[in-house]
A and B are shown apart, each in its own frame.
Chain A
């Protein structure tokens, strides 16, 4: 069930009314409603996915309890590694197995039938990488005693499957989300209204910005050899806009929906197009994923020797390479991640005698040139991210620097799309301290004007929405 579908338009109010009807004093009933609703939401994709998420939840629930109960460290470790093996096992099986087998065969120049392991015909369960990371962080945190394990199975099932963030995050930590399941929530009129506004803004970003950008991006990236340099640059820049509109739009809807239920989810985007460096970009883009990799990969790798530059750089490369691989089983993603890592390392190289003379510590001062420079770097990287394979990415880069005329360029541009995109960016920048440009609108404008703004956005969504595209991050 997509957030921008008719079905979700029915599902959300029904679930919400049931949830309210249960009353905020009945936490168990409310959690049960959320759990059932989340399983319905997820099961409508494919009921078989429920078996996997159910099994995964049970394994981690039991593993965390076992870790907590064990007295000896070796047993704690054993339960932790069992949980990690299970989570990484399903992730590798469903997402990466075929990729690794193909690469193995390619490496040894083997053709079909010449190697013992054949590729599997498996469907990748939607959101697998998101909930797997969430449950892994739970058992690690229990092992590290950062969080107490829950004995309440219903709460834990709700935490893993919470439908607003189940399929594309934000990736939440147990210390933040699970604890909310055990507390009494409150209905606050203002929070609920904020939630509705955030949903509306998210729908606008997804349906008007991302889906329209997708029309050009998909067309150009399907046959890049047919397009000139300017069109390729335009399509690549649009891809950044597409993925931003798509994913941050999704996050807005997720966070807004959670607010209606009295939950608070983590912020996942913070105007990444204003980033002044690549490091800064990753602190603004998919914040919860970067945080996850920082906490569970990068810091554990460097903590033994904080002063070793080589260790730190290797850790950056490994972390960014894994972030790339997290996005999908393809070399384009791995190279994308490594390229980002390489740029982050470059930013940290001292430019003078002082260790802190690097671009990392002293980014370009200008508020305009730094984001533009950074945007160019990110757009170049996103060519890798979007291309179907490395050859295509290389072809696009070559065509861009060859200055091939683009007679098709004007046919690719749309006046309305450019107006909406610029308006979105300007609105977000002007209201950057708020969750969305629509936040706290009641404090600045009266109800008739507010409603007019909402009606206008709904009109724009209906009138100018592009073809319905799946949320890009669902595939990850």
Chain B
């Protein structure tokens, strides 16, 4: 019988194998060390998730309003101006699926939660949801304690740098080396009060230049996605009704150049859903401001579909108005 110590150990590897292993270890050790440094540095970056997470931990028992949604809500609602203690968990490209998972994952920590604000913006019902491996799921897990992966999570799921190396590399570069993030001024709610820089400010808010300026917009209809997203939306609303939450569904202001580009079929379908929600749920108020060109002027926008802090001031006042209606 062969000697087990010889066959079942590293000594059973031949010399070239051991040499290659040694070379691999020597090669990869510096990489692991550099990665550990990058991860540590990335975790220390003053990103909104971190600030919101700290606020969530400190103020959880008092929070009455939760804002969810994409960057449009993130830039439109300033919790500092809210008439009730509020938190914004909205972030760029966040869709209803993430909204719902965040709500479900945090609701037990928020005993005073009464209001939920979220959006059904122009393309919301016809844009597909993110995959289960969406990079922001790491942020939700790491900072909010929410499992949006919809599976068992592992150590790697909490590695923020690994979740999106390109994004974090650029943030690290900008923050530690070039220090060109001076315009970022997060308040304690994670809202960027210095968020005025965008394509409109670059064009000096010149409406003629803005008219001819290129921006990304969507016009493609997708009925399959519409059906899927609408079903999910109603599931979300049923959950909120069951939890006795007062819901504010908003549409965020768009600048007139974007309004012109909208596909009328998509707008019509979305508006029909809004009407249906209004008639079906007594706990819902619709704050429809998408076409409000009276209260929102060119200087209230960062770009065609995002408000700046001035615009957010006006929009948050409107949200406060809706809260007032609930309280009457």
Contacts and interface: CB of A to CB of B under 8 A. Distances in A.
Interface in A426-476: 451, 454-455, 458, 462-468
Nearest to A466: B166
Interface stretch (A154-162, A222-230, A301-309, A349-357): A222-230
The number of chain B residues touching the other chain, given as a range, is 20 to 34
A23 B7 CA distance: 8
A219 B216 contact: yes
Contacts of A454: 27
Interface of B: 7-8, 10, 12-14, 16-17, 19-20, 24, 27, 31, 133, 135, 156, 159, 162, 165-166, 169, 212, 214, 216-220
A408 interface: yes
Interface string A172-210: 000000000000000111001100100000000000000
Contact of A451 (B12, B27, B162, B169): B27
Interface string A29-52: 000000000000000000000000
Given A21-B12, A464-B166, A465-B166, A223 B218 contact: yes
A20 interface: yes
The number of chain A residues touching the other chain, given as a range, is 20 to 34
A442 to B, nearest CB: 11
A464 B14 CA distance: 38
A403 interface: no
A416 to B, nearest CB: 11
A407 interface: yes
Contacts of B17: 20, 187
A187 B31 contact: no
B275 to A, nearest CB: 27
B217 to A, nearest CB: 7
B13 A222 contact: no
24 contacts: A6-B159, A6-B162, A7-B156, A20-B13, A21-B10, A21-B13, A192-B16, A192-B20, A193-B20, A196-B24, A222-B220, A223-B220, A225-B220, A226-B217, A411-B214, A451-B27, A455-B31, A458-B31, A463-B166, A463-B169, A464-B166, A465-B165, A466-B166, A468-B133
A189 B14 CA distance: 10
A189 B166 contact: no
Given A6-B162, A223-B219, A463-B166, A408 B20 contact: no
Contacts of A21: 8, 10, 12-13
Nearest to B31: A458
A3 to B, nearest CB: 14
A222 B156 contact: no
B31 A226 contact: no
B16 A187 contact: yes
Contacts of B214: 407-408, 411
B12 A189 contact: no
Nearest to B26: A451
Contact of A6 (B12, B31, B156, B217): B156
A230 to B, nearest CB: 13
Nearest to A458: B31
B169 A225 contact: no
Contacts of A23: 7, 12
A56 B135 CA distance: 36
